[in-house]
Each structure stands twice: as C-alpha cells, then as structure tokens.
Amino acid sequence: MAGSCEKHGPQDDWSGVCRNVGDALKEGRSVGFNWGVDDGFYWAFCDECQTLTLNGEKRVHDLVPLCKGCFAEARLLNGNPEALQ
Ligand SMILES: [Zn+2]
Ligand SMILES: [Zn+2]
C-alpha cells in the first residue's frame, strides 16, 4: 500500500494499529501498545482492545494504517514494550 504520512513523507510499507493507538499518538497520550508482526505486517492494539481479544471478544477500535516511523514513535511513547509472540 502506497501513500504519504504527514510527518514522515511517502511510505511503501504501513503498519496497522487500532484507532485508539493512532489518536493517542497525535495527542501524546499512552493507551498501551500491544504489538507484534505477522508475515511482515506490523500491528498494535491499545490495552482495551488487547484485553477484549484475550477474552475472545471483539475489539472496540477499527484498524487504521500507520507509517513505520509513527509506529516506532507510538511504541516509544508507551514505554518501548517488547513484541508479543
Ligand atoms: Zn484499541
Ligand atoms: Zn509517520
């Protein structure tokens, strides 16, 4: 998927994060960053979505695209957590 990030410019490779993670990054808030990589696709969910997923329930936030630079910033903002297995 091609496209351009307002902050980091043109991108060929995007991650997918729940909308809450994306919004929180813009506002500089920490909402949890539960992330991993599936087949080269980087994804991350907020704590609320992660808890629901672990309980077998549906996530409350849609997945939105986030550039890899923004992904790294969101990870740092949330304490630089390790990837989930
Ligand atoms: Zn969420
Ligand atoms: Zn970006």
Give the domain ranges of the chain.
Answer: 13-77
What predicted TM-score, i.e. pTM, was given to this entire model? Answer: 0.93
Give the ligand with the smallest distance to the CA of 70: 2
64-81 burial, b at 16+ Cβ within 10 Å, e below that, comes to eebbeebbebbbebbeee
Give the ligand with the smallest distance to the CA of 3: 2
Can you tell me the distance from the alpha carbon of 52 to that of 44, in angstroms, rounded to the nearest whole number? 14
**Residue 2 above 80 pLDDT?**
no
**Residue 22 above 70 pLDDT?**
yes
Ligand 2 midpoint to CA 52 (Å): 27
- The contacts of residue 82 (CB under 8 Å, 6+ apart) are none
Would you say 14 and 65 are in contact if contact means Cβ atoms under 8 Å apart?
Answer: yes
Ligand 1 midpoint to CA 60 (Å): 6
Looking at residue 1, its pLDDT comes to 62
Ligand 2 midpoint to CA 55 (Å): 31
Reported as a single tens digit per residue, the pLDDT across 25-84 is: 999 999 999 999 999 999 999 999 999 999 999 999 999 999 999 999 999 999 999 999
